[in-house]
Amino acid sequence: MKPILTVEDLHVHFVSNSETTYAVNGLSIKLYSQEILGIVGESGSGKSVAVKSILGLLPETAQISGKIALGEERLDQLNSDRLRQIRGKEIAMIFQDPMTSLNPLFTISDQMTRVIERHLHLDKQGANELAELWLRRVGITDAKRRLNQYPHEFSGGMRQRVMIAMAMSLSPRVLIADEPTTALDVTIQKQILGLIRQMESEVQNSVILITHDLGVVANTCHRMVVMYGGMIMEQGNVSDVFSHPAHPYTQGLMDSLPSENNGRHLVPIPGQPAIATTEPKLCPFLDRCPKSISTCFQKMPVLTEIKQDHLVRCWLVEQGGNDETI
């Protein structure tokens, strides 16, 4: 099967006068049609930077190298006109905080129709009808009246629905949701994730869901990628990774999940994720890893397939298994 979106050997460095920050270090991701791919990791693991570089949304201080392709089209080599056509129309994104993603000075209708008119070449009335239709599809009642309201008249969950409606109204091939529920409370989170799943199956697009919540991944995604220090630590089908987490970092994330039935205490991962200011030569998780072996201090582990479509970057795996069944 051909992937819709391919990211190959992506490196993103932020260069300032005093130092260089290595945010993403050789990331490769393939996104296939009609799947929801979860990207998990702590804050600072490079998830948001990676997806923002797909759309070229990073500030100018970012140095990006690697291959990013939508279908056959290389996004990293596009001119700005074509990139603007792709933004929104082919790849749309939902941001973390729906409170700040809408301009408070314009009505919902203003903001939605302007985008629809430009990308789908509809007239004002057609755009308005489409906007209303999508508001209704994301579960906003009284859509006609709501369209003429300002963002402050919507609650957080409602605003995130508006954001989803806005993104989906252009029927993008890829929807990137960057921690779409972090700013929302848990019941709203459930509704929003349900909505994203429902949209995915109705419109048949692909979704990249960025989150630091493993529970969200388990409930929503088909495949998942665990990132740390700007690299993939583990990657595979959600069921495989959850039943046999092979990387100590993934295991650590699982252990720090609250669980209701086996009465274990939460086991946090000690330490904080470090920001790399030199090019990483060793496993970025080494400082915090409880299971490190001598090889870890010598060279960088490589991404190894331990089962079909289940890849892990860890020397323990090379050494003959670190399978820990939960």
Partner 1 sequence: MYLLKRFYKQPLSTKLAIVTLLILVMGAVAADLYPADPYKTNIANSLQSPSWSHPFGTDDLGRDYFARILHGGRATLTVGLLSMAISTLVGTTVGVISGYFGGTLDAILMRLVDLLMSIPSFFLILIANAYLKPGMQNIILIIGLFSWMGISRMVRSVTISIKEREYIQYAKMIGNSSKNIMLIHVLRNVAGTVWVAASIQVANAILMESALGYLGLGATQPTASWGSMLKKAQEYLGSHFYLAVFPGMLIVITVLCFNVIGNRMKEGEAQ
Q: Could you list the residues that contact partner 1 (CB under 8 A)?
A: 55, 57, 60, 84-89, 92-93, 95, 97, 100-106, 114-115, 118-119, 163, 166-167, 170
Tell me how long the chain is.
326
Cβ distance to partner 1 smaller for residue 163 or 224: 163
Dihedral sign from CA coordinates of 239, 218, 94, 115: positive
Cβ distance to partner 1 smaller for residue 59 or 268: 59
Cβ distance to partner 1 smaller for residue 94 or 296: 94
Backbone φ and ψ of 104, nearest 5°: -65, -15
Cβ distance to partner 1 smaller for residue 169 or 322: 169
Minimum gap (Å) between residue 196 Cβ and partner 1: 17
Minimum gap (Å) between residue 255 Cβ and partner 1: 34
Minimum gap (Å) between residue 248 Cβ and partner 1: 35
Cβ distance to partner 1 smaller for residue 162 or 283: 162
Minimum gap (Å) between residue 180 Cβ and partner 1: 13
Cβ distance to partner 1 smaller for residue 106 or 297: 106
Minimum gap (Å) between residue 167 Cβ and partner 1: 8
Cβ distance to partner 1 smaller for residue 97 or 255: 97
What tokens appear for 175 in the block? 């929807």
Minimum gap (Å) between residue 165 Cβ and partner 1: 12
Minimum gap (Å) between residue 200 Cβ and partner 1: 19
Cβ distance to partner 1 smaller for residue 192 or 316: 192
HEC profile for the chain? Answer: CCCCEEEEEEEEEEECCCCEEEEEEEEEEEECCCCEEEEECCCCCCHHHHHHHHCCCCCCCEEEEEEEEECCEEHHHCCHHHHHHHHHHCEEEECCCCCCCCCCCCCHHHHHHHHHHHHHCCCHHHHHHHHHHHHHHCCCCCHHHHHCCCHHHCCHHHHHHHHHHHHHCCCCCEEEEECCCCCCCHHHHHHHHHHHHHHHHHHCCEEEEEECCHHHHHHHCCEEEEEECCEEEEEEEHHHHHHCCCCHHHHHHHHCCCCCCCCCCCCCCCCCCCCCCCCCCCCCCHHHCCCCCHHHHCCCCCEEEEECCEEEECHHHHCCCCCCCC
Minimum gap (Å) between residue 241 Cβ and partner 1: 29
Per the listing, tokens 């789908």 go with 120
- Are 223 and 233 spatial neighbours (Cβ–Cβ below 8 Å)? no
